[in-house]
Amino acid sequence: MNLRLRYRRRLGEWIRAARRYANEVATVAPHDDYAKKFFYFGVGAGLIGPQGIIYNERYLSIGDHTLVGPQVCLTAGISAEQEMLHSPVVRIGKKCIIGRGSHIIGHWSISLGDEIQTGPYVYITDQNHTYLDPDVPVGWQTPEESAVSIGSGSWLGTHVVILPGTHLGRNTTVAAGAVVRGTFPDHVVLGGVPARVLRHYSPETGWQPGAPT
């Protein structure tokens, strides 16, 4: 092995080790001073490093034993200085797992129940742009807000998008890539763009195709 290749391999090992150590140190635990900025930061909870963009922590609540994956963005409002009307704006319940690279962007109310898991790159928001005035660029029109809630025990697959006004029941499964808006009952499987009920559970007959009647 030539000297250059040996040096490159050894340097790579050092860099990877330093990165692992940095991410471990950057992980936020309940005893850290930074955790005290949150509305609530639960026992056994953690923000895995490296974190994504996080601001207005005083309006964010993270439940006991919930793990937020690396590069996840958690925000309330549009800037760290914005005063919100109530707190928390974003509430994540107990024993949840939020997948890598996900975004939870709250302006009014986003509530996740307990024991919810998401795949990577899930996007949840309670605010959207409007397009009602054809003479004004969409990005400059006043956005609309509508509360979002996700029932305990639910699973959101990779790249799921949860739009304002969505209310999911308990133990809901959302297939990867679905775009969800609306109110859905407990124990259903959602998929598609826009999302619809693919399967539902009946206590009498078990899992059945389509929506409950």
The residue with greater pLDDT, 212 or 61, is 61
23-73 per-position pLDDT tens digit? 888 899 999 999 999 999 999 999 999 999 999 999 999 999 999 999 999
- 200 found inside a domain: yes
Write the CATH number for 153: 2.160.10.10
- 9 found inside a domain: no
- 205 found inside a domain: yes
DSSP E strands: which ranges in 51-160?
Answer: 54-55, 60-62, 67-68, 73-76, 90-92, 97-98, 103-106, 110-112, 117-118, 123-125, 127-128, 144-145, 148-150, 155-156
142-154 per-position pLDDT tens digit? 999 999 999 999 9
- 6 found inside a domain: no
The residue with greater pLDDT, 22 or 100, is 100
* Per-residue pLDDT band at 1 (split at 50, 70, 90): low
67-126 per-position pLDDT tens digit? 999 999 999 998 888 999 899 999 999 999 999 999 999 999 999 999 999 999 999 999
| Residue entry with tokens 């109110």 | 183
- 19 found inside a domain: no
Count other C-beta atoms under 10 Å from residue 82's C-beta.
Answer: 13
Give pLDDT, residue 98.
Answer: 98
pTM to 2 decimal places: 0.92
- 11 found inside a domain: no
- 111 found inside a domain: yes
**Rounded alpha-carbon distances, angstroms, from residue 199 to 40, 78, 124, 150, 176:** 36, 37, 23, 18, 15
Q: Mean pLDDT in the chain? A: 94
Q: What is the per-residue burial (b if ≥16 Cβ within 10 Å, else e) of 24-61?
A: eeebbebeeeebeebbbbbeebbbbeebbebbbbbbbb
Residues belonging to the active site? 129
Q: Is residue 178 over pLDDT 90?
A: yes
- How many domains is the chain built from? 1
- 123 found inside a domain: yes
Average pLDDT over residues 144-171: 98
Q: Is residue 188 over pLDDT 90?
A: yes
Residue type, 14: W
Task: Tell which phi-psi region holds residue 17, choosing left (phi > 0), alpha (psi between -120 and 50) or beta.
Answer: alpha
Q: Is residue 4 over pLDDT 80?
A: no
Average pLDDT over residues 126-135: 93
Domain that holds residue 122: 27-209
DSSP E strands: which ranges in 14-108?
Answer: 40-41, 46-47, 54-55, 60-62, 67-68, 73-76, 90-92, 97-98, 103-106
